[in-house]
Amino acid sequence: MNPYGTKIRINEGIRVPQIRLIGAKGEQIGIVDAREGVRLAREEGLDLVEVAPLAKPPVCRILDFGKFLYALSKKEKEARRKHKTIEIKEIKLTSKIDEHDYQTKLGHAQKFLEKGNKIKLTLFFRGREITHMDLGEKLIQRFTGDLVEWGSVERNDGLEGKAIHLYIAPKTNKKGGPLKSAETKNQ
């Protein structure tokens, strides 16, 4: 660790005998001793920073370490900002669901898919309802059919115990985002 608290090796922290050196302006200097690289960096008032430790020999560059860390932190923040986490929302049904309840669950599913979330659809069978699997399968087909505009079945785990699990992924637009209801009517 260097004085800045990072794992990047700089100056005397580089302990290999030889390095491939890149100058402050990006020019290739060649393979030199690590001590020689530190001396050249000090002459320019900069730091010797190991940028590719796994290369043979390791690649080091003469640059301002503070500016280097700042650029790295900006890249990481930008990557985190662009990274979208996809949530899985669960919708639970039973085979004897009323029509109003079905429409409510369907509306929730549409909203989840429009926001870009995946849905885990769970259909429970209570008691002897398991003997009427055909009713449950019809309900699942109806539900996925009603959601075909917003998403498609990604994975069907089938019956596990007394429940059927199904995963529905949102349809995406050309930009990679979820489809909005206005976009689905245009397609």
Q: Report angle CA 10, 68, 41 to the nearest 5 degrees.
A: 45
Cβ(25)–Cβ(64) under 8 Å? no
Convert the pLDDT of each residue in 36-57 to its tens digit: 999 999 999 999 999 888 889 9
Convert the pLDDT of each residue in 77-122 to its tens digit: 988 887 777 789 999 999 889 999 999 999 999 999 998 899 999 9
Specify the pLDDT at position 13: 87
Higher pLDDT, 175 or 32: 32
Domain with CATH 3.10.20.80 in the chain: 1-66
| pTM of the entire predicted model | 0.52
> 1-66 in CATH: which number?
3.10.20.80
CA distance 84 to 112: 15
Superfamily the domain 88-186 falls into:
Translation initiation factor 3 (IF-3), C-terminal domain (3.30.110.10)
State the distance between the two ends of the chain, measured CA to CA, in whole angstroms: 55
Specify the pLDDT at position 79: 85
Half-sphere exposure of 185 (CA within 13 A, CB side): 2
